[in-house]
Structure 1
Amino acid sequence: MKHQRVRDLMSDAVVRVQRGTPFKEIAHLLLEYDITAVPVVDEENRPVGVVSEADLLQKMWGGEPDGSAEHAEWSRASAGKADATDAAGLMTSPPLCALESWSVVDAARVMARHRIKRLLVVDGDGRLAGVVSRSDLLRVFLRTDRAIRTEIIEEALVKALGLAPSSVQVDVAHGHVVLSGRLPAHVSAPLLEEHCRSVDGVVAVEFRPAGEADAEGPAAVGS
């Protein structure tokens, strides 16, 4: 299946700073644009780091350890941030970035693995092109049931599995896909379900063999 690409969902209006941007200017940008972090780029617009609210707040408490071994180790790793006066000293580097060509699945996997809410997006030359967030990725679940059904029939049934469009009945409601019919010997129900789950916007997939579907039909009509 052809998942949507990061370039289709990202925001290309990105507030950015350079290494020499002063502390107070960064704080002003975060407040003015109601954002929690800002990318740091070099002279060629390539991301070199990220400055977050947490980085700025170290100025308040000075990065002093609280006595725990875990906190002391973290404090040593970011000891210079409490004394930093510009983006170069405050930023976390290198930044995690996604390519414009990544699928939404690729981006979601990286966000989950690193427990982050957004990714910087770069083009093929490594220049900052945008930013994609968790909420951006969730937009794939706003696809209409009709669009999901059409893609399942055209991409999963016909193109991927070589089935006739009418060989399997496809019903979609609120992203829940119900498949019913008789499958040829070379196509198993788990394989069909797997292809359908890979369609963007699908929430759940259920296959009902022809006999089961026929048995449930009268009950549904009489209810």
Structure 2
Amino acid sequence: MHHRTVEELMTRGVVRARRDTPFKELVRLLAENDVTALPVVDELDRPMGVVSEGDLLRKSADQADPSGTVPVPNLEAWERAKAEGSRAEELMSAPAVCARPEWNVVEAARLMETQGVKRLPVVDEADRLLGIVSRGDLLRVFLRRDEAIREEITRDVLRRTLGLEPSDVTVEVRDGRVALSGTVGHRSLIPVVEQLCRGVDGVVSVTEHLAPRTDDAGH
């Protein structure tokens, strides 16, 4: 099986900011490039942090309402510092949470989830910026054609990994939903087949109607 890598999915030619990029220039870069966040890099092009629309909006949220009907929010000290910032290094979320180009979709998705971020700058061995990968980029694996998913399961999971004959298990895929039917050697192999199929890029769900030739569940 071949999980798609970050390098295959990331956006190259990333628009970036420098640590001294002023607030208005950050807003302009976001608007002109139709992006919602920018990596902030140092003099060696190494990501220091990421500045997003959310980071910049703190400045607007911290302003008093002219009508006096909306109270000024009670911000934490770090939020107040961001709201009062005027340059990228003062406004960004830091440190930057980065990915490597050789990581697969699963590794990148787990890091995004655990760190609560929407995008990851991608860096090389010297921590220089190569690209950026977003949640939307990772979701592109679910655009794989059903036939491509079926071929990978049949060839890589069933034949190469498990040594099953094509006549043993029938694989049907519709909108990423995999249905397995047929027979396998032992009952204990059924959850293994199911788990391996779930690990194929683009698979949304797996249902199985597999019968064992030998019931080894008690051993």
TM-score interval for Structure 1 and Structure 2 normalised by the shorter chain = 0.7 to 0.9
SS in structure 2 of the partner of residue 136 of structure 1 = helix
Q: How many equivalent residue pairs?
A: 206
Tell me how far apart the structure 2 counterparts of residues 173 and 55 of structure 1 sit (CA, whole Å).
41
Matched, 1:118 2:119: yes
Q: Which residue of 2 aligns with 1:153?
A: 154
Amino acid at match of 1:32: E
Amino acid at match of 1:26: L
Tell me how far apart the structure 2 counterparts of residues 130 and 82 of structure 1 sit (CA, whole Å).
28
Q: Which moved more, 1:22-31 or 1:106-115?
A: 106-115
* Structure with the largest fraction of helix: 1
In 2 relative to 1, CA 179–62 (structure 1 residues): closer, same or farther, beyond 3 Å? Answer: closer
Q: Which residue of 1 aligns with 2:216?
A: none
Amino acid at match of 1:40: V
Displacement of 1:200 after TM fit?
A: 0.6
Displacement of 1:67 after TM fit?
A: 9.2
Tell me how far apart the structure 1 counterparts of residues 155 and 46 of structure 2 sit (CA, whole Å).
40
In 2 relative to 1, CA 25–151 (structure 1 residues): closer, same or farther, beyond 3 Å? Answer: same
Tell me how far apart the structure 1 counterparts of residues 165 and 187 of structure 2 sit (CA, whole Å).
14
Q: Write out aligned runs for 1:14-53 (5 A).
A: 14-53=14-53
Paired-residue identity, %: 50
Displacement of 1:150 after TM fit?
A: 1.0
Q: Which residue of 1 aligns with 2:2?
A: 2
Tell me how far apart the structure 1 counterparts of residues 38 and 209 of structure 2 sit (CA, whole Å).
49
Q: Which whole-Å deviations, capped at 9, do the CAs of 1:38-58 have from their partners, x for residues lacking one?
A: 111011111001112232233
CA contact (8 A) 1:63 1:82 kept: no
For the aligned residue pairs, the C-alpha RMSD in angstroms reads 2.3
Q: Which moved more, 1:166-175 or 1:199-208?
A: 166-175
CA contact (8 A) 1:149 1:172 kept: yes
Q: Which runs of 5+ in 1 are unaligned?
A: 212-223
CA contact (8 A) 2:61 2:72 kept: no
SS in structure 1 of the partner of residue 202 of structure 2 = coil
Amino acid at match of 1:203: V
TM-score (norm 1): 0.83
Q: Which residue of 1 aligns with 2:96?
A: 95
In 2 relative to 1, CA 175–57 (structure 1 residues): closer, same or farther, beyond 3 Å? Answer: closer
Displacement of 1:115 after TM fit?
A: 3.2
Amino acid at match of 1:95: A
Q: Which moved more, 1:50-59 or 1:193-202?
A: 50-59
TM-score (norm 2): 0.84
SS in structure 2 of the partner of residue 45 of structure 1 = coil
Q: Which whole-Å deviations, capped at 9, do the CAs of 1:98-144 have from their partners, x for residues lacking one?
A: 11111111111222233332221112221111111121111111111
Q: Which runs of 5+ in 2 are unaligned?
A: 65-70, 213-219
Q: Which whole-Å deviations, capped at 9, do the CAs of 1:120-174 have from their partners, x for residues lacking one?
A: 1112221111111121111111111111111111111122112223321212222
